Amino acid sequence: MKTPQNPHVVILPFPAQGHVKPMLNLAMLLSNAGIRITFVTSKAVLDPLVQQINLTSFRTRFPSFQFNSLSDGFPTKITRESYASVSLLLVDVFDTIAKVTPRLFRELIASLCDDEDGDESSRPTCVIADGIMSFAIEVGDEFGIPVISFRTYSATCTWVYFHLQKLVDQRFIPFQQGEFDCPITCIPGLENKIRLRDLPSVCRQRNSEENTMLQFYMDQASAMSKASALILNTFNELEPDSISQLGSVFPNVYAIGPLQSLSREIIPNLDSVSSDGTLWKKDRSCMAWLDRQQPKSVLYISFGSFLTLTRDQRLEFWHGIVNSKKPFLWVTRSGSILDASDSNNVPAELVTATSERGLIVNWVPQEEVLAHAAIGGFLTHCGWNSTLEGITAGVGMIGWPGLADQQVNSRCIEEIWKVGIDIKDMCDRARVENGVRRLMDGSDQEMVDRLNELRRLARQSLAIGGSSFGNLKRLIEDMSKMSS
Ligand code: UDP
């Protein structure tokens, strides 16, 4: 008879901020439940990640948690500046990872299965792989290890990705700019709720790189559907229909978000031993600045860890924000403005207004910022983590999506959840100014009510008896069964 083995889960995120953060939070939650963890990512991500963690305290709190680096094929950190476009960068990243990482991942799993010291417990009992690292499913099959996909996007966007082939077959894709507002009718549960312009950016087909990316995402969706289950960083009450639709693809769907809040709810004093999975040092000086501002008066602006703005786009936003006359806190991480060498040419009125009522910083503790009483609105690129953090904090959003899933999220913010304004495909100062005023003047009672309701539901899902709390418990129980 086979002896029951202690669960050992290998976790493989895609090596980028928005993917590593929720997967680290899940890893800590599983480790807290007594599950052995091997967390695997590229050196370029692992080094800054562990720099933000107090490793001595971390090892005491999570004694069976290992970090392991695995090459993504790039000798050094990838920088946006070395590529003519973001599509070229992404194609190169996906291509290089596909050439290098699957072989190394297979070797890692083989070595864990074949531990020289005869340590049977080193054999993984389950792999949790990022939904866009689906080569892990083949590796798991080879070694008889179940693989669960973790999609770091919303359930709605994940559901949309499962329909890319259908969108091509029914000739919604490719489409021209003049057809942007054409409603999409072929995605069950989302009929007429999203338009062509709201599809993930790979559907826009502006160049051959986007064609390659579209094919990549179609292949990933098809490969991912072979996973034994799906984990999502969302909560049942936010996306009930899409989560239930995904149940037709996967035998088990675990909606366990917002993960960064769930980990803090369940693991006592987590902030004293770990970070939330951030890759940059947080500048906390903004918190004292926020303390000096009026309640709900400040606009918080961040375009996430990856998106870049051109100099002109930044100026349009800057003028719009300054013209709205609201105090503002703006994250501008280094490298996020293209043509930044031109930064001396900023109009004097912007410099003066910023010194009077603005603060520009490199990287902040975003969730703490959003929870601060002074914050009255969030101008966001609609990365999924940021969107979920805005909802959890009950802060209304202006969505200006750039790429990937952000287009879908921005639409959901306005049309489905009704907690903000979608300004995709527009970047002019008048719209920004009007959007900021509309968002922050508090006169849209429906939006205020929806924000309060979704914040309440998010909190409720995390508590004992709540949906995300319960789904995590079910995941942990199912993982324990995998090892017996
Ligand atoms: N973030 C942060 N400090 C900042 C800006 C962003 O900690 O100054 C975090 C934010 O809380 C979020 C993550 O970075 O969890 C960005 O992830 P998201 O999915 O929103 O966007 P991406 O960076 O993947 O485009």
Q: How many CA atoms lie within 13 A of 136 on its CB side?
A: 30
Burial of 448 (0-12, 13-18, 19+ CB in 10 A): middle
Domains and their CATH numbers in the chain? 8-278+463-482 (3.40.50.2000), 285-459 (3.40.50.2000)
Total Cβ atoms within 10 A of residue 348: 7
Total Cβ atoms within 10 A of residue 185: 10
What is the pLDDT at residue 338? 79
Place of tokens 């202006």: 398
Contacts 24+ apart (CB under 8 A), 92-98: 94/132, 94/213, 94/216, 96/72, 97/15, 97/72, 97/73, 97/133, 98/135
CB 425 within 8 A of CB 177: no
Burial of 82 (0-12, 13-18, 19+ CB in 10 A): exposed
Helix (H) or strand (E) holding 474: helix 467-482
Q: Is the CB of 308 under 6 A from ligand 1?
A: no
What is the pLDDT at residue 342? 58
Q: Which atom of ligand 1 is nearest to the CA of 278?
A: 7
Q: Is the CB of 306 under 6 A from ligand 1?
A: yes
Q: Is the CB of 153 under 6 A from ligand 1?
A: no
Q: Is the CB of 378 under 6 A from ligand 1?
A: no
d(CA 289, CA 297): 12
Q: Is the CB of 302 under 6 A from ligand 1?
A: yes
Place of tokens 């709720």: 193
Say how many Å lie between the CA of residue 400 and the centre of ligand 1.
14
Q: Which atom of ligand 1 is nearest to the CA of 389?
A: 11
d(CA 313, CA 309): 6
Helix (H) or strand (E) holding 148: strand 147-151
DSSP code for 292: T
What is the pLDDT at residue 382? 98
Say how many Å lie between the CA of residue 364 and the centre of ligand 1.
9
CB 165 within 8 A of CB 143: no
With a CB cutoff of 8 Å and minimum separation 6, the contacts of 204 are 175, 210
d(CA 305, CA 177): 28
| Residue (of 373, 408, 49) closest to 234 by Cα position | 408
Q: Which two tokens stand for residue 298?
A: 């400040």
Please give the order of strands across the beta sheet that includes 147-151. 65-69, 36-41, 8-12, 126-130, 147-151, 229-232, 253-255
Low-confidence ranges of the chain (pLDDT < 50): 1-3
Which residue's CA is minimally distant from atom 11 of ligand 1?
366
Q: List residues bridging with 420 in a β-sheet.
A: 397
Q: How many CA atoms lie within 13 A of 363 on its CB side?
A: 14
Q: Which atom of ligand 1 is nearest to the CA of 260?
A: 15
Instruction: Please report how the helices 467-482 and 259-266 are oriented relative to each other, as an axis angle in degrees rounded to 10.
Output: 80
| Residue (of 165, 194, 160, 164) closest to 180 by Cα position | 194
Q: Is the CB of 305 under 6 A from ligand 1?
A: yes
What is the pLDDT at residue 34? 95
288-344, pLDDT tens digit by residue? 999 999 999 999 999 999 999 988 999 999 999 999 999 999 999 887 887 666 556
Q: Tell me how far apart the terminal alpha carbons of the chain are, to the nearest angstrom.
A: 11
3-state percent breakdown (helix, strand, coil) of the chain, nearest 5:
50, 15, 35
Q: How many CA atoms lie within 13 A of 8 on its CB side?
A: 18
Q: Locate all alpha helices (DSSP H) within 126-189, ordered by sequence.
A: 135-143, 155-161, 164-169
The catalytic residue among 130, 198, 405, 422 is: 130
What is the pLDDT at residue 6? 86
Q: Which atom of ligand 1 is nearest to the CA of 16?
A: 24
CB 49 within 8 A of CB 279: yes
